[in-house]
Amino acid sequence: MLISSYMPAAEGEKILTPELRARLEVLQKGEITEYHIYRKLAALVPDPHNRSVIEKMADEEYGHYSFWKKHTGRDVGPDRVKVEFYYFVSRLFGLTFGIKLMEMRESEAVETYREISMYIPETAVILRHEEEHEIQIIALLDEKSLRYVGSVVLGINDALVEFTGSLAGFTLALQNTQLIAAAGLIMGIAASLSMGASEYLSQKSEGSANNPMTAAFYTGGAYVVTVMVLIMPFLLLSAPLKAYGITLSLAILIIVLFTFYTSVAKDLPFLKRFAEMAAISLGIAAISFVIGLLVRIYLNVEV
């Protein structure tokens, strides 16, 4: 809590305390940084309406910067590293993800705005703008990657569940990394084609607004990419158990990354979804591991 916002000065004149000035300059730098981020992101949006909304948000951020500048009396430059980071993230993972990731960080400043508004009442206007940003963003974009995120989830989930289990069984039954990788690759490609076909028929029969062929591509593509990542350790290592240990680590990493992406882009709880996916994948892997061991013992499988 700031004890005092202004130092005593001549009548009618107000001088900021060093503590308050430092905090205002941090906010000022944040506003000019976000202005530059929004201006760069606007160039990614082909739709004129969506682009105009982002440009309006950029103009608001610049207005906030100018407001703080009146109080600090100083020019502050943007954080160029953050500008390039959020631009890169938005190009790689989509505009909605990039903006919402930035807004998550921006929401942390809301409490600071509320505190400072007790000393500078006009801050309430900026606070209202900041709180309206997320509402605008939610209604803003209709990105293809988000419309088909359900298809991607289907592909990744099935690949993780089936392959952490299948590879566990192959590891105990076959005990040869090259054979395990070959069996996994054949099974993975066939399963990805099957998953893609199933998603195509599902989308078509449900009369979904999504293009069935595109949905099938996202499902099958997500499936086969996940499979390739999971079998890679078996192609590079000769020790089956060590390779499978790395495969499990990669599976958990995929779950973490994809759950984080969907939790940000779709406003979903991260921990609950991560725990659910991890429990299912690792649980089935454990069961398959035991099955593979039993097959090796009771059917006398020797490779």
pLDDT at 80: 92
- Give this prediction's pTM: 0.65
**DSSP code of residue 120:** S
What single-letter DSSP state applies at residue 152?
Answer: H
Tokens for 50, please give them: 């969506």
Q: Which residues pair with 7 in a beta bridge?
A: 15
DSSP letter at 210?
S
What is the CB-side half-sphere exposure of residue 179 using CA atoms within 13 A?
Answer: 11
The CATH number of the domain covering residues in 6-141: 1.20.1260
Domain parsing of the chain, residue ranges: 6-141, 145-298
Q: Is a pLDDT exceeding 60 seen at residue 10?
A: no
| pLDDT digits 0-9 by tens, 153-202 | 778 877 887 777 778 778 877 788 888 888 888 888 888 888 888 888 88
Contact 163, 188 (CB under 8 A): yes
Long-range contacts at 228-233 (CB < 8 A, ≥ 24 apart): 228/188, 229/254, 230/159, 230/160, 230/163, 230/164, 230/167, 230/184, 231/163, 231/167, 231/180, 231/181, 231/184, 231/185, 231/188
Q: How far apart are CA 85 and CA 98, in angstroms?
A: 9
* Average pLDDT rounded to a whole number, residues 70-95: 87
The string of pLDDT tens digits covering residues 258-291 is 888 877 777 777 888 788 877 887 787 777 767 7
